[in-house]
Amino acid sequence: MKITIMTVGKLKEKYLKQGIAEYAKRLSAYANIELIEVPDEKAPENLSAADMEIVKQKEGERILAKISPDTYVITLEINGKQLTSEQLATHIDQLATYGKSKIAFIIGGSLGLGSEVIARSDYALSFSKMTFPHQLMKLVLLEQIYRAFRINRNEPYHK
């Protein structure tokens, strides 16, 4: 299985880079992991609603350019479905069972995801109704995917 984690923007924080590298290394025993960062669109703080949509559209074009047609896309969205770790494990296992060998998890930039990316999504996943920094979500997501593989193989992992 090939799992791609795609984020908008460059990761700068060393502590997040270290955690992400650790979970990517752990996950590599279970799947082919690809981490992709697409450039964020430079924009001032006080954007109009129309300008925000333009920014999300441009970032969305960069995201969609990196997704092949046969990839199952899971977007992280605040209004997506909330799952337990066990339910996420089951979902990933079912995708593999039904021949979905390429999965891409998409984390938008600070303004969220554009409508074109949301339309391309096969599944909207939410970790919480709270808002988190998108780069921190990358670490949390990797940990949960690693946990899912451990659950699916009945391997021990702290609860």
For the chain, list the domains and their CATH numbers. Answer: 2-153 (3.40.1280.10)
The predicted pLDDT at position 157 comes to 79
What is the spatial distance between Cα 143 and Cα 135, in angstroms, rounded to a whole number? 13
Indicate the annotated binding residues for S-adenosyl-L-methionine.
Answer: 76, 108, 127-132
Q: Which residues are annotated as a binding site?
A: 76, 108, 127-132
Q: What is the pLDDT of residue 158?
A: 65
- pTM, two decimals, is 0.94
Q: Using alpha carbons, select from 42, 122, 113, 27 the residue that is nearest to residue 78.
A: 113
Residue 8 φ/ψ region, left for φ over 0, alpha for ψ in the -120 to 50 degree band, beta for the rest: beta
Q: Note the pLDDT of residue 33.
A: 97
Report d(CA 4, CA 2) in Å as an integer. 7
Q: Is the pLDDT of residue 159 over 70?
A: no
**What does DSSP assign to residue 39?**
P
How would you classify the pairing of strands 102-107 and 123-126?
A: unpaired
Give per-residue pLDDT as tens, 23-62. 999 999 999 999 999 999 887 788 888 999 999 999 999 9
Q: Tokens 């791609």, residue?
A: 4
The predicted-structure confidence for 91-133, as pLDDT tens digits, reads as follows 999 999 888 999 999 999 888 999 999 999 999 999 999 888 8
Give one DSSP letter per residue of 72-133, joined into a string.
EEEEEEEEEEE--HHHHHHHHHHHHHTT--EEEEEE-BTTB--HHHHHH-SEEEES-SS---
